[in-house]
Structure 1
Amino acid sequence: MEFLGTTQVASYCGSRKSCLFPDLPPTSTTKDTYQSYYLPGYRHLCSWRPSLLHKVVSVPPDSDNQFNPSGRPPTILPALRSSLHARYSPRDWHHATAAQLRGSEASRYCAGRMNTDSMRLMQDKDQLTYQMQEDSKRNLGQRMSNIDFWRSELIYELESLLKETQALETAKKRLECAVDELQGPLKVALECLYYREKRREIDLVHDDVEKNLIKEVDVFKECQEILTKLAQKIGQQLDINRDAQHALEQDLADKTSAHFIDEKCFNLRNTSDSIAFYHGVEKIDGTISVPATWAKFSEDNIRNAQHARANSVKLREDAEVALETTSEEMWNQYVSTNLAFNHRIAEVADAKNKLQAQLAKILQEIFQTEDTIMLLERSIKAKEYPLKVAQTRLVGRTNRPNMELCRDAPQLQLVTEVYTIDDTLQTLKQRLQEARDTLQMLMVNKSKLEHDISVKANSFFIDRKCMDMRKVFPSPPRLIGYT
């Protein structure tokens, strides 16, 4: 039985270009919603589909009256067109089967290669991931070891710096105590100088005591200035030490925080609960140093602390030497001033004793001179009557008459007696005047001695009072800053 008409895919129908239905772009929704998946490395193979059915389905409904202008009338009934066009030829069937087999074989081969390569890739990537994780862990461990090393160095240097700072503060307190202790002796020395200004007249001399007191004041002020400047230097060094201490503490705190963070990162595992995705974090680089500058930063901090410690040690040694030197110098000057005071007091006491002895002698001589004056006055008074007698006799004998006025022996004797008595009176009066002058001189000397003795007594009292004030002097331990 022969069918009316034939399919357009038959061998006797000619090429596929002579089909009655023109090729139109596909409009089905199937192609728009489904995309074929091609395996990597597998060449593009179109899924097999009957070309005739595709063309029939793709033809719009209003294209039934459009025929290929070949001049051949259609031999297919319109009612059976759809069913006739859905049929395939054996060639199409064999071609589709062979294509399916080839495509399946190629897909299977590609799938096998892909599976093998995927297993090998997964093994390599697993190994690489594990190795990278181990390297990161090892680097974190090495980093923690480096941090521990620098932490130990910082802790040792910080402890040494703290001890040195404490010792330097003790030295500064000793210097300040020594400066405070000098206020008392300096005030005493100045009071002694001012008090000795109350000496009077000749005793107001620039003696060894005053020279030593002035030198003592200069020594005390100079020692105070030296110790004060040294205390100021130590104060500045303490500020430098505190800055270095702050840098060490800050660096140590940072390294402790970094060690805690790295230790936390080191202990992280794939099964940890605190892990999460942080996309893009690897693109952010917030670091501010490299290992060289990181190590140099701590090394510089330690070097600065060591330099500060070295300066502190030198300042402490200078302070110790200054305290010893100044205390010895002040003590020697104090002893020298006391020796000068004792020597001066002895000299004043000796002079006062000599003046008192001389005053006693003057008083004795005044008493004797007064007795001599009294005796001279009596002697002069006693010579008046013999002179009166002799002069009366001469006057009486001038009344002798005429030749009886003879210059006889009695006349000559009386004249000689008058002259002798008169000369005696003149001599006694002169001697009386000399005795009175001597008495006056003795009285003046007595007054001077008494005044000089009072001056010496005043000087002696002042120096003794100064010595009493100087009894309180700091002991050598207090002079070197120990309380």
Structure 2
Amino acid sequence: MPESNNCCEAQGLDAITAKSHMDESIKPTEPSLIQQVIDNPTGDGITDTNLRVPEGCPRIDPCPAKAAIQTQECETEKGDGDNIALERARNAPPGPLGPVPTGHGENVPLEYWTPLGDLTGTRPAVENFSLSRFSPNEWNEHNKKLSAACHDGIQVATTAGFNALCSISRAYAEADRNQMDNNIRLSTRAGTIHRWTVELERMIADIIEEIDLVQEVRRRTMRVKSVLQVVENIDKDMMRIRCFRMDNDLVRDQVSEEVTKELSLCEEIRDVYIRLLDQIKMQIEELITAKRRVEFDWSEKKEAYEIETESRGLGSQSDTILWKAGSTRIPPDQSSPSGYEYSTKQVLAEGYTAKQRSSTLRVNVDAMIEKAVKDLRDQADRVDLTLTQQIQLQEQALRRLEAELYKDLQQLSDTETLIDEMHDASKKLDGAMKCAQTRLDKRLLRHGVENCRDVPQFGLIEEVKSLSESVSATLGQLKRAENSTSSLIQSRRDIEKEMVVKRPVILTVPYYVCDRRSYKSNAQLEIQSP
């Protein structure tokens, strides 16, 4: 029966298709060969030379249809009505393709059919008005097949439904499990991003604080530099004032040397401050660059954290979920977890390096400012010391000059008094001289022997001589006294001139220079010192 069913299914081609296939396969000049096949189904007397099978058609083999037909005749004589149809089919005139096939071969398997059945695709006819016929067995078999097919369809549908429900349940469970796992992964990823975000925020705060500290160091350096200009101005002003000294006081003393050293030190310190300001400026730019990079990374991580948080909050029942075609693609520039961590650590390392450099620079700047201020203080102390010593020397010289002037004036006064006394003394000697000379003159009026050189004569002469010598000595002393008076007057003039030269220095330097250095320069340096 299965072979018969296969035969039925194989013979499902219609007559037109079979005829067209046969027309294409068999040449028109070969109908006698087909007739020989039909008349002699066993193939007796047909050789390969007589039967030329077209290329593409199956080879015609002998078919044992005759024995099957005889067996079918015995079965159909049982009174089921098939013998009438069989006799009618046998007595029917042949058709265009030969005798009409009888129904004895209806239950013959397909492999026992003649090749003509394969070519025509038709079953043995029952009568002239029918092309094919099914037996009751085939009808029952067909119904069984329909029932079996329906039952199989129901079974398949039931199994498919059960499998579909199981698949849906598994899909739901798998979807829930995957969604839960992805929620955990998203939460972990969000926590990681938040941790790095906090680290970056801390680094940004540290860099901002470091920038403020460096800015404060920069402002203080600029203030110290401005104070350095004040010191230079004071030194230059001091040199200018000291240039007003006159005559012998205009000397290059120790004060000038120390002030010159202080000016040179100020120039060197200014160069150091300029280099420090350039380094501070470059460090601030480096910090700002590091801060911008950290802020850029922080903004990306902040946005990524918001995206991860929003993605973590999404669910199957969310209102904002949509179809996103191509969302599973992997961008070529997408980073790996190790690359992500390395990039973040690299940004933090650069920020930390810039912060460390800035801290080191601040320490160095503070140390250099402290050293520069110390050097300026030491030099200022040396200048003040030498200036104080010079002022003391000037005061001592002035006091000595004042003392000498006092002595000179005292001596001049004494000399003038002496001159007056000597004039008076010489005038007093004039009377004695006149007296002695008058006595001698009167004694010369004596006459005769009375006019002798007696002892009184010699005594008066000695008196006149003595008075003359005394007067001459007095006049000589007077002359010398007068000459000494001139020298004393010249000395007084010189001393007074020198005092006029030194007194302005004594009066100007302490109050104009020392006070400014004490109350301006040192005070400002004290304020600016670290």
Correspondent of 1:199 among 240, 245, 263: 245
The structure with more radius of gyration: 2
Which residue, 75, 82, 101 being the options, matches 2:93? 75
Q: 2:322 aligned with 1:275, yes or no?
A: yes
Q: In 2 relative to 1, CA 317–476 (structure 1 residues): closer, same or farther, beyond 3 Å? A: farther
Aligned-pair CA distance for 1:249: 0.6
- 1:88 equivalent to 2:132? Answer yes
Quick one: which of 493, 501, 507 aligns to 1:447?
493
Relative to structure 1, is the Cα distance of residues 87 and 435 closer, same or farther in structure 2, using a 3 angstrom cutoff?
same
Shift of 1:454: 0.8
Tell me, in whole angstroms, the C-alpha distance in 2 between the residues paired with 1:436 and 1:252.
Answer: 104
What secondary structure, in the 3-state scheme, does the structure 2 residue paired with 1:473 have? Answer: helix
Q: How big is each residue's C-alpha offset from its partner over 1:269-299, in whole Å with a ceiling of 9 and x where there is no partner? A: 33444321414x5445243421112111111
- Amino acid in the other structure paired with 1:167: L
Contact 2:394 2:502 in 1 (8 A): yes
Structure 2 residue identity aligned to 1:278? A
2:234 match:
188
Three-state SS of the structure 2 residue aligned to 1:289 is coil
2:322 matches 1:290: no
Please report how far the alpha carbon of residue 240 of structure 1 lies from its aligned counterpart in structure 2 after TM superposition.
1.5
SS state of the match for residue 141, structure 1?
A: helix
* Superposition pairs of residues 136-215 of structure 1, within 5 angstroms: 136-215=182-261
The aligned residue for residue 247 of structure 1 is 293
Question: Which one of the candidate residues 459, 464, 467 is aligned to 2:514?
Answer: 467
Q: Unpaired segments of 5 or more residues in structure 1?
A: 1-43
Quote how far apart the aligned CAs of 1:447 are: 1.5
Question: Against the structure 1 CA distance between its residues 46 and 238, is the aligned structure 2 distance closer, same or farther, given a 3 Å change threshold?
Answer: farther
- Total equivalences in the alignment: 432
Deviation digits for residues 40-95 of structure 1 (CA, Å, limit 9, x no counterpart) = xxxx998565567556886999xxx99944399982799xx998363424469729
Q: Return the offset for 1:255.
A: 0.5
Alignment partner of 1:276: what SS?
coil
> Could you tell me the TM-score, scaled by structure 1's length?
0.68
Query: 1:368: which partner in 2?
Result: 414
CA distance in 2, matches of 1:423, 1:232: 94
Please point out which of 284, 287, 311 is paired with 2:357: 311
Instruction: Quote the Cα distance in structure 1 between the aligned partners of 2:498 and 2:518.
Output: 28
| Among candidates 136, 155, 160, match of residue 115 of structure 1 | 160
Q: Which has the higher contact order (CA 8 A, sep 6+)?
A: 1
Partner of 1:101: 145
Q: Which residue of 2 aligns with 1:358?
A: 404
Superposed, 1:418-457 pairs within 5 Å as: 430-457=476-503
Change (3 A) 1:479 1:92: farther
Secondary structure at 1:84 match in 2: coil
Asked whether the 8 Å contact 1:178–1:481 carries over to 2, the reply is: yes
Q: What is the CA–CA distance in structure 2 between the aligned matches of 1:482 and 1:339, rounded to whole Å?
A: 22
Distance in 1 separating the partners of 2:17 and 2:222: 114
Bigger Cα displacement from structure 2, 261-270 vs 212-221: 212-221
TM-score (norm 2): 0.63
Contact 1:197–1:204 (Cα < 8 Å) also in 2? yes
Q: Would you say the 8 A contact 1:323–1:479 is kept in 2?
A: no
In the superposition, relative to structure 1, how do residues 53 and 130 fare at CA in structure 2: closer, same or farther (>3 Å)?
farther
Structure-2 separation of matches of 1:459 and 1:55? 143
Higher mean Cα deviation, 334-343 or 106-115?
Answer: 106-115
Q: Cα deviations across residues 123-154 of structure 1 (Å, max 9, x unaligned)?
A: 66666555554444433332212111111111
The answer (yes or no) to whether the contact 2:207–2:355 under 8 Å persists in 1 is yes
Over residues 155-205 of structure 1, what are the superposed CA-to-partner deviations in whole Å (9 max), with x where a residue is unaligned?
122222222222222232222223323433432232122101211223234
Q: Distance in 2 between matches of 1:436 and 1:375?
A: 12
SS in 1 for 2:519: coil
How far apart are 1:121 and its partner, in Å? 6.4
- Could you give the per-residue CA deviations for residues 348-378 of structure 1, whole angstroms, max 9, x where no partner exists? 3343233223213212322333454566677
For 1:204, give the aligned amino acid.
L
CA distance in 1, matches of 2:495, 2:7: 152
Shift of 1:99: 11
Distance 2:246 2:181 in 1: 99
**Alpha-carbon deviation of 1:440?**
2.7
Distance 2:8 2:481 in 1: 173
Shift of 1:228: 4.5
- Rate the CA distance shift 1:45–1:268 in 2: closer, same or farther, 3 A: farther
Paired AA for residue 519 in structure 2: V
Partner of 2:53: none
Give the conservation status (yes or no) of the 8 Å contact 2:232–2:266: yes
Query: Tell me, which stretches of 5 or more residues in structure 2 are unaligned?
Result: 1-5, 40-91, 101-124
Contact 1:241 1:308 in 2 (8 A): yes
Deviations 1:388-447 (A, max 9, x none): x98xx99x99xx99xxxx999899889988987776676556545533432332222111
| Structure 1 residues 459 and 45: alpha-carbon distance in aligned structure 2, compared to 1, 3 A threshold | farther
Q: Secondary structure at the match of 1:285?
A: coil
Residue 88 of structure 2: aligned partner:
none
Q: Kindly state the Cα deviation for residue 223 of structure 1 after the two structures are TM-superposed.
A: 4.7
Give SS of 2:360's match: helix
The answer to whether the 8 A contact 1:176-1:481 is kept is no
How many angstroms apart in 2 are the aligned matches of 1:45 and 1:250? 80
Distance in structure 2 (CA, Å) of the matches to 1:445 and 1:310: 74
1:317 deviation in Å?
A: 3.3
Aligned-residue RMSD, C-alpha: 5.2
Q: Residue 199 of structure 2 aligns to which amino acid in structure 1?
A: E
Task: Specify whether residues 428 and 149 from structure 1 end up closer, same or farther in structure 2 by C-alpha distance, changes over 3 A only.
Answer: same
Asked if 1 retains the 8 angstrom alpha-carbon contact of 2:203 and 2:352, the reply is: yes
Aligned-partner Cα distance in 2 for 1:236–1:45: 98
Which amino acid counterpart does residue 115 of structure 1 have in structure 2? A
Report the AA paired with residue 152 of structure 2.
R
